[in-house]
Structure formats: structure tokens, C-alpha cells
Structure 1
């Protein structure tokens, strides 16, 4: 009696050194559905876990660390032109360098061969350096100060449900759903302080979004020997929340905040080079709509500059150190102005 194959079973041919053994380990049922008699290699399971869903009946505890860096520069001219050639006024060049390090533990468990649940617990450390050039009309005069913050981030609960298993003609389809709780420090009502003649910085940095959010989407994965291709499409909805203060100025200004919803899509490919090692290349893009604030005095207004296009190209690799422990790495490079310049991730999943 055969069992239904989890995604990537056909990839055993590429991940195994003995071709005859791989052929014996997989076959096709009467209904055209891929079936197997042996468990896929560890490198294949690593690709499943990181890019799709594993649906394993073993508990997976996955500690990880992610570091991202970005910098933004803005030129501000405050004055006027004399004789259409000479600028009279202040020239300010403001630069913000952001470092975000996130430590998290991601726990996953397959309740059945079609349903998987997960829980992500993050801890965030942020450090931002603010620089201003051009104070007092002097381009040689620089000002600089740093602000850092550490706290729990937003906790999320995830569900993955296999809608259709992979066959020779169709990909493996999984529906994903997630709930995000506002357990981190929210970014609203943070006061600013004067850090120099021409420099104002926030007194603290946020570690969360401050609002509840739900995400849903579809991911697909298909084995195309000797590679695997995957793609995903998703949507995130942020609930409107009320806060006692949403202004950075002195005094409380109560109001409602509706963070912009987002649409995301991604695709990529992976190769299991042998039983323990795999490589992947992927691209992810997310469009975030403008946020809105509502106050008694000003009504509802869009927050200018709050929309974003985030595009990231990622190169990843997994190495199975044992049958129950793996090392996962990923390097992401931002391709749009709103994305982080670079991000580096290390994860180490343990299967109990």
C-alpha cells in the first residue's frame, strides 16, 4: 500500500547518487498522482520547509537571526535663487542609517498531512544614526546622533493547508493564513528631541506595527527535474486602531490609524545538489498602500510618503548537519528604493 507523496518527491532523482534507488522510491498512481515509498532527502525537506510547507508530523523548532541595513538621504533647500544662479538660504542634507537585528523562534507542527500550524516569537533590536550636513549655511559642518531600542516584536500565528497535492500535471497548492498581534512597541505618538542646531531625532524607535493584521495567500510548488520552481501570491489587511496620541509634537493628539494594506508576490527556483545541500534563488515584491489617520480636528488624511514598493532578490542555501538539524542561510539585496539595501539571515531548524 503506497502513501501520497509530499511535494518534491520527484526530486529524489536529482538528490540521490544512485539512479536505480531513486526510481524504486517513487511511482505514479492510477489517478496520475505522484506517490512514494521512501522519505525525501534532507535537502529536499529543507527547501520544502523554507519555501512552501513541510506538513511533517514532527515538531520543528527554528531559532533564527536576521540583520538588515538601509540608508536614506534627503536634500532640503530652504531659500530662493538670486539672479537665477545664486541660491540664498539653507542647504540641508539629512541621512538616516538604520540597522535592524531580529532574533526569533519559529515553531511549526503538522497536525495532519494537509494542515500545519506555526508560531513566531520575535525580539527586535534597532539602531538608527541620524546625520545632518549644512547647518548654519556651512557645508563643512556636520551633526550626528544615534538612537537605539530593543523590545519584543509582533507575534504571529500561522496556518498552512494543502489544497491540492502535486501530480505530474499540476503543482502542489497550499493556502496560507496568518494573524499578527501588536505585541511590539508601536510607532505612534513618539516625541522628538533636538540633537543639534539643525537635527531633530525621535526619543525611541518602534519594534512593531501597533495594529492587528491578517494575511492570506496561495503558494505553489512544482518539481521540474532536476529543479523545483515555486511561487506565491498574498494579501495583508491591517485593522484600524485608536491611539491616545498619534503626533510627534508636544501634547497628546488622539486619533485612529489605518495602516496601508499590502499585496505581495514572489517566485523562485531551487536545486538539491546532493542529499544534504541545496541552493535557491528567488525574488519577492510587495506593494504597500498609503496609511490614513483620522482626528477630530483634521478628519481623515492620507499620510504622504507612507506607500512603498519593496523588491528583494534573495540567494539562499541549506545544509543538513544531521537527520534532525539543518543550517539555513539567505542573502537579500534590495532592488527598489523602499527595500532594505541588504539583509542577511541565519536559521537552524531542529526536528523533535
Structure 2
């Protein structure tokens, strides 16, 4: 798309990858002797606070089913936009939008399920429902004194994802616990392609989309590795991940009148991060973390011509404060407050989750 000049670089992101040293203490971990083959033997079950940290940041490999309903709210405020394309929820909206300021609110309700088939294999499934609301503001033509605004909101099913985690190597005195994972994301949400625009009748300088997407519109495959090492009195682990978006054809990828078919190849992404968490007692833990995601440029193909979308690459950095509290042996509360440290990240993100094992 040669006429695309600028693209907002906002990816709600975030992938959750961390490098986390967790101050836990030998009594909390309840780690026992070392066997003859040098493998770490845990004689007692970890505390609930430790289990919560492992479940959220690594993999617990529990032989019990875990249901985890959650809610996430993110807010971003972008100013001085003059767009010919629009990036929303990891996808490209192809249209002509002229705004000076955009305030976006995204609320996601989701249900995650996890089940450890063995002490080495864990399955996961996530089903999200997304509600989005964006308010667009602009001054009059030629930057006149009049200020007008329009609001667009939409909601519906998001992109469903499934994952498989496998413990490749168990932890020993000399090596970390090594887990590899593989995931698939299906385009079950509303895609952002071919969405029409509307113009403010009192301000021709304000052009906004008529609806907002709830998904990316393409299939994606994710892979990664997680390493965990017990260093009394701490647990240290690091995660790396990569997402490959599969190129997809659409009947319409333009907001102009009439259908304009084409292909969209969303940019792949690389994720990494680090942080620390502290198990304060048997039930309560606190954490600090930083995650970073680099997103490559996207491409569009129309009429046999392929063009990179200028400005579609992004760096998403988020610093998070989190905590977990075990209400009982079956139910916990997980909270996280994320603060965007780069221009492409949401300004703020707040998450509440409640994993429980029936």
C-alpha cells in the first residue's frame, strides 16, 4: 500500500515473558537431598505462594485442572496523529484517519484452563472476550480553534489460543529446569480489514473508523523456552519467545468504497524479559518485572505488488508490579499493574486473575 504514510505503533501486548529471581528461602521451597543422578528431589510440596509464582511465570505441571478467569484493562493516550493507516490490537486497519488525539480503553475478560498430563507435559487454553472504546479528537481544518470528538466502541470474542508446555530437562545441582512451549492462536475475533470510516459532519478534518476489531485476523504460531534454577534462597528463571504470523488473504483490505482484495503479512515478534518476586509467607508473594517485545514491519500485497507498511515495527516495553495471595488451598488472587515505558506500549494496564483448582 504505497499511500500509507504513517502508522500508529501500538501493540497491546504483551506477552508475558520474565527473568525472575524469587526470594523464597529454603524452608519455603522445601527442597530435599540430591539423588545419585544429581537431580533435585523436592521432598515436600512448595508453598501456595511459590506455586502461584510458578504457575504465572513458568509452568507448574500440576496433575490437577486449573481454571483461571481474569480481567485486564489497558489505557493509552496518543497525540498528534495524522494517519493514512491504523494499527489496532496487533493488526492493520487500512483507511484514512485524521486525528490529533486518541484515547483508547481495552477491557478483556478471559478464561484460561491448564492441566498437567504428566510431570513433564502441560496443556493450556485461553478464551478471551474483548470490549474496546476509542475517543478521537481533532481541531478544525487548517488547525482551526474548534475542537470536536467522536467515539467508537465494539466488543466480542477475541482470538482463542492453545498452548503445550514440555519439561525438556529437570533441574539438577548443575543445570536449570528447562521447559519448551508451543502455541497456536486462531483468528476467532473480528479482523480489522476492510472497515469503513466516517467523517464528523461539523469537522471534515476528523475521520475515524466505524467499528473496532477484537482480533488480528490471522493464524499465529508461538514458540519459546523457559529456564528455571533454584538458588537457595531464590528461584531464577528466564523466558524467551517468538511469534510467527501466517500471511492471510482477505476479500477487502481497504476502507475505500468497493472491495479491494489483498494479502496481509503481520510482522513477527520476539519477546524477552526479567524481574523478581518475593514469597513473603506461605500465602503472599510480591513481584517486580520488565518485559520487552520487538515487532517487525508488516507487509501488504495488492495487485501483485508487495509493500512494507512504514511505521508498523514497534518496541513494546512494560514494567510491572504484581502480587499473589492464596485465599485457600484451591483458590488464589493474582494482580498486576503494568506501566508502559516505550511509546508503543499502553500507558497503563491492570490485571486481576483468580486461578482455582476444582
- Normalized against structure 1, the TM-score is what? 0.87
Match of 2:79 in 1: 73
Matched, 1:222 2:235: no
List alignment gaps of at least 5 residues for structure 2: 1-20, 83-97
List alignment gaps of at least 5 residues for structure 1: 1-7, 17-21, 77-91
Whether contact under 8 Å (1:155, 1:180) holds in the other structure is yes
What are the residue-to-residue correspondences of 1:1-352 with 2, within 5 Å?
Answer: 11=24, 13=26, 15=28, 22=30, 26-74=32-80, 94-138=100-144, 140-195=145-200, 196-296=203-303, 299-352=305-358
Match of 2:92 in 1: none
Aligned residues: 321
Structure 2: distance between partners of 1:50 and 1:14 = 21
Whether contact under 8 Å (2:22, 2:279) holds in the other structure is no
SS in 1 for 2:41: strand
| Deviation for aligned residue 1:134 | 4.3
| Deviation for aligned residue 1:75 | 5.8
| Deviation for aligned residue 1:304 | 1.3
| Deviation for aligned residue 1:267 | 1.7
1:254-276 per-position Cα deviation (integer Å, ceiling 9, x unaligned): 00111111111112222111100
Determine which structure has greater relative contact order: mean sequence separation of CA pairs < 8 Å that are 6+ residues apart, divided by chain length: 2
SS in 2 for 1:209: coil
| Deviation for aligned residue 1:137 | 4.0
| Deviation for aligned residue 1:133 | 2.2
Whether contact under 8 Å (2:23, 2:279) holds in the other structure is no
When Rg is computed on C-alpha atoms for both structures, the one with the higher figure is 1
Query: More deviation in 127-136 or 278-287?
Result: 127-136
| Deviation for aligned residue 1:283 | 1.0
